[in-house]
Structure 1
Amino acid sequence: MASTNIRPARRSEAGALTELALDSKGHWGYDEEFLAACRDELTMRAADIERRRTRVAEAGGRVLGFTTLDGIPPEGALGMMFVAPDTLGRGIGRLLFEHTMTEARRLGFVRLTIDADPHAEPFYLAMGAVRIGATPSGSIPGRELPLLEFSLTPH
């Protein structure tokens, strides 16, 4: 695989990022009805790209994943983090996560929360996040998601 770099997302990529998010979510075996219910919450809009500090991991001209860093320092959220299903296990998620945490520290964030998909919780815990509770799903009534916290200490 070509060298992977992290760069700011482009407004013109909003639609492709939405599809990447849905493909990534679908990797975990969720059915079409579930994914349809999540579509609005997983939709990236051109107007959101800069405001949400969206970054993409790219290799060979292909976007392999993306993150958003939401909020105003000192507290915010890792709003979205998705990796293309065919690249899972290749370090793309770790690269994106570490880049986003470095950027968050640089901007003055000291704490980020993560509303994690249950399938992604082990990854975030391995990255140093701690489960602090549960939060209602923004898409599925009655469903709860792991609520995680990542403390950003200066490096």
Structure 2
Amino acid sequence: MNDRADAATLIRTAVAADLPALQQIYRAASLSNAGDAPLLLARPEFLVFAGDGIAAGRTLVAVSDPAGDGRVAGFATVAAGPDDGPELEDLFVDPGRRRRGIARQLVRQVAGDARDAGHRRLWVVGNPHALAFYLAVGFVQVDRIDTELGAGLRMSLDLS
């Protein structure tokens, strides 16, 4: 895993005008995993990102080169989780911008915000294909769970 964060990446709260870019990233990133694409294409409703967390201020975007093109490169959405911490609901990076530390930077921001709010853990149900990434940023696998799209990994990140 490349730990180098793109020096010209800014993390900010998403706004309504970001929705088309987030929808494009969501679809492209979801379909970029050859193991998931056939099931997703068979269930197109899973390829639609509604952006429910935007209005509530729960979605963060990573903007590349904010002084230049200002393109959204990735995003993360946080939802209420168990009593000891929130849930990382979405974490997607434009496939053409991967391996630049953008997802790592988003997780770091979400974890820092959760810690600052007094939470002890950050939770995620991750795709098994993303296991190496989540382990690399400090999550530990707690359980395997069934999701509508198959097996998922219940993971937590200690924020203490």
Q: TM-score, normalised by structure 2?
A: 0.82
Q: Are 1:79 and 2:89 matched, yes or no?
A: yes
Superposition RMSD in Å: 2.2
Q: Distance in 2 between matches of 1:24 and 1:111?
A: 26
Specify whether residues 136 and 51 from structure 1 end up closer, same or farther in structure 2 by C-alpha distance, changes over 3 A only.
Answer: farther
1:57-136 to structure 2, matched below 5 A, reads 57-60=62-65, 61-71=70-80, 74-136=84-146
Unpaired segments ≥5 residues, structure 2: 1-5
Residue-pair matches, total? 149
2:105, 2:152 → 1: CA distance? 24
Report sequence identity in percent: 30
Residue 37 of structure 1 and its aligned partner are, at CA, apart by 2.2
Q: Is residue 52–residue 69 contact of structure 1 (8 Å, CA) maintained in 2? A: no
Residue 42 (structure 1) shift: 5.2
Of stretches 55-64 and 70-79 in structure 1, the one that deviates more from structure 2 is 70-79
SS of aligned partner of 1:75: coil
Gaps (5+ residues) in structure 1?
none
Structure 2 counterpart SS, 1:109: coil
Instruction: State how far apart, in whole Å, the 2-side matches of 1:16 and 1:129 are.
Output: 28
The one-letter code of the counterpart of 1:66 is: F
| Partner of residue 31, structure 2 | 26
Amino acid at match of 2:50: M
Alpha-carbon distance, 1:36 to partner: 5.2
**Could you tell me how far apart the structure 1 residues matched to 2:154 and 2:86 are?**
13
Q: Secondary structure of 2:138's match? A: coil
TM-score, scaled relative to structure 1: 0.84
Give distance in 1, aligned partners of 2:107 and 2:87. 12
3-state SS of paired residue (1:21)? helix
